[in-house]
Amino acid sequence: MTQVAAYSFVDKPFSDEESLAALESYVREWFMRTFKELTPPQRYSFKLIADGHNVIITAPTGSGKTLAGFMSILSELFKMGERGQLAESVYCIYVSPLKALDNDVKKNLMQPLTEIREIAAEMGIELPEIKIAVRTGDVAGSEKQRQLKEPPHILITTPESLAILLNAPKFAEKLRTVRWVIVDEIHELAGSKRGAHLSLSLERLREAAEQDFIRIGLGATLHPLEEAARFLVGYDDAGRPRPCKIVDVTWYKPLQLMVTTPVKDIVHASAEEINEALYRLLDKLITKHRTTLIFTNTRSGTERVVYNLKEKWPSKYNDATIGAHHGSLSREIRLDIEDRLKRGELKAVVCSTSLELGIDVGYIDLVVQVGSPKSITRAVQRIGRSGHRFGDTARGVIVAMDRDDLVECAVMLKCALERRLDEIRIPTNCLDVLAQHIVGMALTRKWSVDEAFKLVRRSYNYRYLDRETFISLLKYLAGHYAELEDRSVYGKIWFDEKDMMFGRRGKYTRIIYYLNIGTIPDEVKVDVYLLPDKRYIGSIEEEFLERLRPGDIFVLGGRMYRFRYARSMSCYVEKPPKDSLPTIPAWFSELLPLSFELALEIQDFREEFKAMLRAGKTKKEIVAWLLRRFPIERHTAEAIHNYYREHYRYTGGKLPGRDEILVEITSDLQERRFVVFHALYGRRVNDALSRAAAILASDQIGRNVGVIISDNGFALHIPQDAEVDVEKLLRELASCDLEELLKRNIRRTEMMKRRFRHCAARSFLILRNYKGYKISVSKQQTNAQTLLNVCEEVNPNFPVIVETYREILRDVMDLERAKLVQEWLRTGKVKSTVIATDVPTPLAHNLIVLGDADIVLMEDRKRRLLQLHEAVMRKIRLAARS
């Protein structure tokens, strides 16, 4: 029996005649008067959407994607209007991850909406107005009231606001008529919990709507597309995938790319010299172009760049010519910068990641990325912000800040030019997200467990959820973990286990749902006060505080402070002596991971490089080869060459290439001891391998073990007086049941605490907003460790704990690929070599300076305490002697 594939690629565009024939005459007329021709995505979309297909379209920015999605819908809406079939109700919902994009889309649709009516009037056709409205968290209550009275035909919103709308008692009525849903920037949503959240909203919307609606997904770059299609359309009640047409015109835009470094000699230059040179380089690039967009990856980086450019060249860079844009800035400031950018008034805009997504940024002729963007897809996406006009070339410069960055970016840009993307991974069975929706569903009506379960399983993210887990979640939400008489406080739903029905409960539940919905975690902030007068100076993360020892010097808001002491959620610091240096590195807990695919590409690159060194090729020959192969400059090529040659020479030829893990036992200048694993598999795989290795090492020596993790490898930080049998460790690492080992021991890591707090907030166990008040963390008083302990005591299979494990093992770590590497180690495909060095190798050096990312605690707390006690006594004896 042949089965019709649910997802089919549409390879051939329709002719312009066919496409335009799909539109009503006045719409067609407007389009032809306004544009010279159809853009590539439009040649597919007009007809496909008019014919009623679900469709996913990937195309670069500036390719008329928005109209590609909307044109046929506008046409159909006007036709309905012409026939008097248009009711005061919502027909089309557009969802994007960004409020700014929502505002933009509305603005861009106003023109066709007005002009088409005018053209129709010329043709003697009276068309009613198509109403359009934006509904996001920024929209005032009065506007929402107005929308209820005059419902828009096209509703523009975000995933969070959509989930709230589904529970707005009167407005939800207006959603029954929905016929189209557009999901924009689908590449940004699909791989995250936010996407899982949206997918459930869509199924709930389906339940509320009279009919199956047409789903349209838009995105810039995405791979593999079938996976994105699954996410967009989900399944029907019989478990069959809903059909979807796939249109890929992603690679339409020509790219011009270059990797560079601020200084020629990136190794021997001091941090200051590198920074100075970075600003000079940025100035040069900005001056040579009309409008430059700069990405820095972090908010503090954005602030630093803008501050320094203004400081150094005040006549050139001031408030009139340059601006900062990131999520911590107020909405007014962001909007102002966006508007001036669009109008071409700014020479440069510096942003963290915030302008990555599709708001119209106007004319930009250069994108500069400071530091590695970590993924090919992201690099392409960001660089694609330049050359906004249809047919323009996108120009991008990546400024690598160290030598690993350099190699990574060179290989990344080569992949980008060869049109190879890294894979998207869609999270499944996220229980915290599901918990929010169950509460939302319970608020609307009574449900039988079966029908609710059926609805949930229509989402691709929950396709394989089992019923038992679903019920455990219902029990949790009903507060069954609390005593009967406390359930009015703890329970957010009512759940009858005998009749298998659930529904709403509690007078605050609706407010809890409205005010705590969403998936982006609030980091727990600890307030920092400067002694002696205890002036507030800013905040740090709870986990960062845990790492601070009295006397440690760290940077906050560009200034250095010395840590004195902490008291619950407050941290007290003092000014350090002049010329102090930070003793604890700025610690970014959530750096973007390098993709596995790209990591393997870099392995191949190293392999080729090693072969050339082995063959005795000269510097000149190798540099020439690099320049031929990669979009880099001469001094960049030389830096890469020097880096690898140094390591090669120092280790007597042990540059880890393809399928090689080099293990290096070494100490740094402070005589801290490390076992470094040069394992180039990307951070997500190393997240798993490193924790496993640390657990095994901790068990072997009976001590705590620090873990440093990067994309290029990981290191175990071993107590000075302990001795690890590395060969044994390697054997165990290769042969252990990785999943079991991690599951059993992940409790011993700091990551567990941090992630637990996030999951607890998403599952409504910790409310950020309660009874209408924003709750300060200091009021919640309890640290993540205590919370976790208490929940675990009550029930080790508490859904919030289960979700934390799932998130760590499936989303944070790439367990599947880590197991693959393990298998390669077992079968001998991957070989490991152990060396010992007095001074870390060049490759190890870059890793060690990152500082510990996590600590794996030894299992027995009492023994841990005794060891601490011993250490204390030793230190006191030492101090007494000197």
Partner 1 sequence: MRHVLDSLTIMGVAELVAPYPAIYIPEIDTLVISDLHLGYEGVMAEEAGLMIPKTQFKKEMNALREIEKRIKARRIVLNGDIKHEFSSTSYHESREVSDMLEYLQQEYEEVIIVKGNHDNFIARITSRYRVKLVEEFLDGRYYFVHGHEIPDGFASKGEVVIIGHEHPAIALYDDVGAKEKIPCILYGDMLDGRKIIVLPAFSILAQGSEVNMIPREELLSPILRQYVDVDSLNVTSVGPDVGCVAFPKLGLLRGIR
Interface with partner 1 by CB under 8 A: which residues? Answer: 481-483, 486, 489-490, 512, 546-547, 549-551, 564-568, 572, 703-706, 717-720, 764-771, 775, 779-783, 786-787, 790-791, 793-794, 852, 855, 857, 861-862, 864-869, 871-873, 875-876
Q: What is the 3-state secondary structure (H, E, C) of 33-58?
A: HHCCCCCHHHHHHHHHHHCCCCEEEE
Q: Least CB distance from residue 90 to partner 1, whole Å?
A: 33
By beta-carbon proximity to partner 1, the closer residue of 611 and 790 is 790
- Closest by CA to 526, choosing from 779, 778, 786, 785, is 778
Q: Least CB distance from residue 771 to partner 1, whole Å?
A: 8
The position carrying tokens 């994607």 is 65
CA–CA dist 262, 801 (Å, integer): 46
Q: DSSP character for 882?
A: -
Q: Least CB distance from residue 502 to partner 1, whole Å?
A: 18
Sign of CA dihedral 290, 296, 297, 300: negative
Cis peptide bond prior to 152, omega within 30° of 0: no
The position carrying tokens 């070599």 is 833
Q: Least CB distance from residue 834 to partner 1, whole Å?
A: 21
The string of DSSP codes covering 331-365 is HHHHHHHHHHHHTT--SEEEESSTTSS-S------
Q: Least CB distance from residue 159 to partner 1, whole Å?
A: 23
Q: What is the 3-state secondary structure (H, E, C) of 415-483?
A: HHHCCCCCCCCCCCCCHHHHHHHHHHHHHHCCEEHHHHHHHHHCCHHHCCCCHHHHHHHHHHHCCCCCC
Q: Least CB distance from residue 735 to partner 1, whole Å?
A: 26
Q: Least CB distance from residue 495 to partner 1, whole Å?
A: 16
By beta-carbon proximity to partner 1, the closer residue of 33 and 549 is 549
Strand order in the sheet with 322-325: 255-260, 394-399, 366-370, 292-295, 348-351, 322-325
Q: Least CB distance from residue 719 to partner 1, whole Å?
A: 4
Q: Least CB distance from residue 740 to partner 1, whole Å?
A: 24
CA–CA dist 259, 269 (Å, integer): 18
CA–CA dist 768, 721 (Å, integer): 44
- Contact predicate 326/299, CB 8 Å: yes
By beta-carbon proximity to partner 1, the closer residue of 185 and 852 is 852
Q: DSSP character for 130?
A: P
By beta-carbon proximity to partner 1, the closer residue of 520 and 865 is 865
By beta-carbon proximity to partner 1, the closer residue of 628 and 862 is 862
CA–CA dist 580, 561 (Å, integer): 9
By beta-carbon proximity to partner 1, the closer residue of 133 and 791 is 791
β pairing state of 570-574 and 559-567: antiparallel
By beta-carbon proximity to partner 1, the closer residue of 417 and 566 is 566
Identify the bridge partners of residue 245 per DSSP, sorted by sequence position: 8, 55
Cis peptide bond prior to 532, omega within 30° of 0: yes
Amino acid at 491: G
By beta-carbon proximity to partner 1, the closer residue of 211 and 789 is 789
Q: Least CB distance from residue 860 to partner 1, whole Å?
A: 10
CA–CA dist 691, 714 (Å, integer): 9
By beta-carbon proximity to partner 1, the closer residue of 14 and 756 is 756
Q: Least CB distance from residue 521 to partner 1, whole Å?
A: 15
By beta-carbon proximity to partner 1, the closer residue of 535 and 567 is 567
Q: Least CB distance from residue 865 to partner 1, whole Å?
A: 5
By beta-carbon proximity to partner 1, the closer residue of 450 and 486 is 486
CA–CA dist 151, 145 (Å, integer): 10
Q: Least CB distance from residue 572 to partner 1, whole Å?
A: 8
By beta-carbon proximity to partner 1, the closer residue of 382 and 717 is 717
By beta-carbon proximity to partner 1, the closer residue of 640 and 791 is 791
The position carrying tokens 């219902």 is 474
CA–CA dist 363, 341 (Å, integer): 8
Reading the block at residue 289, the tokens are 């172009």
- Contact predicate 461/429, CB 8 Å: yes
By beta-carbon proximity to partner 1, the closer residue of 557 and 585 is 585
Q: Least CB distance from residue 853 to partner 1, whole Å?
A: 11
- Contact predicate 753/789, CB 8 Å: no
CA–CA dist 419, 377 (Å, integer): 10
Instruction: Tell me the Cα Rg of the chain.
Output: 29
Q: Least CB distance from residue 866 to partner 1, whole Å?
A: 7
Amino acid at 96: S
Question: In this structure, how many other beta carbons lie within 10 angstroms of the beta carbon of residue 770?
Answer: 16
| CA triple 322-327-332, angle to 5 deg | 65
By beta-carbon proximity to partner 1, the closer residue of 290 and 863 is 863
By beta-carbon proximity to partner 1, the closer residue of 650 and 770 is 770
CA–CA dist 492, 286 (Å, integer): 54
- Contact predicate 737/746, CB 8 Å: no
CA–CA dist 677, 690 (Å, integer): 9
Q: Least CB distance from residue 445 to partner 1, whole Å?
A: 24
Q: Least CB distance from residue 499 to partner 1, whole Å?
A: 25
Q: DSSP character for 252?
A: G
CA–CA dist 691, 848 (Å, integer): 16
By beta-carbon proximity to partner 1, the closer residue of 379 and 760 is 760
By beta-carbon proximity to partner 1, the closer residue of 289 and 505 is 505
The string of DSSP codes covering 821-854 is HHHHHHHTSSEEEEEE-SS--HHHHHHHTT--SE
Reading the block at residue 138, the tokens are 């920024």
Q: Least CB distance from residue 543 to partner 1, whole Å?
A: 11
